[in-house]
Amino acid sequence: MGEVRAERAARPGRPVVDLTEEQARRALPLKWGTVPAGVIPAWVAEMDYAVDPVVLGAVQQAVADGITGYPLFGFDPALAEAYAGWSARHFGWAPESEAVLPVVDVTAGVRVALDVFSGPGGVVFPTPGYNAQLGLAGLTGREEVRLEVPTTADRAEIDLDRLDRLFADGAQTLILTQPHNPWGRVFTRAELEGIRDVVLRHGARVVSDEIHAPLVLPGAEHVSYLAVEGTHDHAVAVVAASKAFNTAGLRCAQLVVPDAASRRLLADQPMARNDSHSPLGAIAARTAYAEGDPWLASLVERLDQQRALLAELLAAHLPRVRMRPLEATYLAWLDASAYGHDDAAAVALDRGRVKVSPGHSYAPGTTGQVRLNIATSPERLTEIVERLARAWA
């Protein structure tokens, strides 16, 4: 696996281009367009970088060709083969192409998996957890069972004994986000094997959200849950190129279903079960998987630099902030409770003119925590931390 990562890093890259504020306000209407002038947005998981020109060019050509109709329903061979090739190159493991099926986005894919494959029992959701998926179990008619990880823990880990008890009490599915948002964790193979053993002991299921897999930073390696022996009959993964390539608005993720019987069950569902994805999203994803390695190499290098810069800035300006090691993603989980603000995000916006994500939206009831997006220019990240220091301290 290390050789795969080293080979990718050695390839010539396409440079990451920072968006100006004017460009960002046009390109990122949610992240930048919903904050007033003078506020720096560092909240939603979008990057202040121009789209990879190869991916953008493929989408522009598709629009010029008038590709605005319905996408292929169900299996998309070109997309599936592109993902399988990508996974083999980057992670040393790949599903057979028949296992890769398009969905509209990752959260929709998680819901489809719960609806189609899970029993009626509760859904274990580790918290802090991705806020867009908080409450998702309830939408499928299942109880959400939270497995709380202490927000102040230096290294966030899933408590296997607690997971075992939750399954023993009737839960039947685990939503596993890995790499994890907002923990910034990359689970090791040994950790995944431990989760597998607990799941097998109870005949439970796993839905593995792996959207951040392309964004594992130097020092860690992504292992798909499906790459662990003995997982295919009880697990699916949901993946996408959208987070790494900044194309979330194009609306296309992939559901990886390695078990043939499960694929047949999915194929027999009413058409409305899997809302239609976008043909432009499929083209963007296919291009990213097939031709995006050079740009991704530059992106990972940039994010590694931003990670180091953030550590320096916090040490200099906010020494009482505790930050978990950032092993993947561009989303840092900060514990600012030492500065005495229950809602540190509100204070950051009011006093510092920086919008960060409040920790209580990922772990209801917690105080003093925020999630900070570092995928911006070094200059803007420096300004963000300096503003946070003035606001909090």
pLDDT digits (tens, 9 = 90+) for 18-46: 999 999 999 999 999 999 999 999 999 99
Residues 34 and 72 in one domain: no
Same domain, 325 and 209: no
Q: Where are the alpha helices (DSSP H) in 100-248?
A: 106-117, 136-139, 160-168, 189-202, 242-245
Provide the pLDDT for residue 4: 40
Residue 6 — pLDDT band, cuts 50, 70, 90? very low
- The pLDDT, as a whole number, for residue 271 is 86
Give percent of the chain with pLDDT exceeding 90: 92
- Please indicate, yes or no, whether residues 302 and 248 belong to a single structural domain of this protein: no
Which helix (H) or strand (E) segment holds residue 254: the answer is strand 253-256
| pLDDT band with cut points at 50, 70 and 90 for residue 1 | very low
pLDDT recorded at residue 152? 67
Are both 97 and 245 inside the same structural domain?
yes
pLDDT of residue 324: 87
222 is written with which tokens?
């992504």
Q: Domain tally for the chain?
A: 2
Tokens of 351: 């006093």
Q: Say how far apart CA 297 and CA 294 lie, in whole Å.
A: 5
End of a domain among 236, 266, 291?
291
Q: What is the CATH number of the domain that holds 103?
A: 3.40.640.10
On whether both 205 and 228 belong to a single domain, the answer is yes
Render pLDDT for 244-288 as a digit per residue (tens, 0 to 9). Answer: 999 999 999 999 999 999 999 999 999 888 878 999 999 999 999
Give first-to-last CA distance, the chain, whole Å. 43
Radius of gyration in angstroms for the set of CA atoms belonging to the chain, rounded to a whole number:
20
Nearest to 94 by CA among 80, 107, 108: 80
Cβ neighbours around 136 below 10 Å, total: 21
Residue 145 phi/psi, 5-degree rounding, is: -115, 110
> pTM here?
0.94
Do 120 and 251 sit in the same domain of this protein? Answer: yes
Residue 75, SS3 per DSSP: coil
What pLDDT, on a 0 to 100 scale, did the predictor assign at position 74? 86
- The answer to whether residues 195 and 327 belong to one domain is no
Distance between CA atoms of residues 383 and 356, nearest Å: 13
Do residues 328 and 280 both lie within one domain? no
Q: How many other CB atoms are found less than 10 A from the CB of residue 268?
A: 9
Domain extent for 44: 2-51+293-392
State how far Cα 132 lies from the chain centre: 11
Instruction: Tell me the C-alpha to C-alpha distance, in Å, between residue 62 and each of 124, 188, 250.
Output: 41, 39, 12
From 291, 323, 351, give the residue that closes a domain.
291
Same structural domain, 300 and 373: yes
Indicate the average pLDDT of the chain.
95
Residue 275 pLDDT? 75
**What's 370's domain CATH number?**
3.90.1150.10
Q: Which of 236, 261, 291 is the last residue of a domain?
A: 291
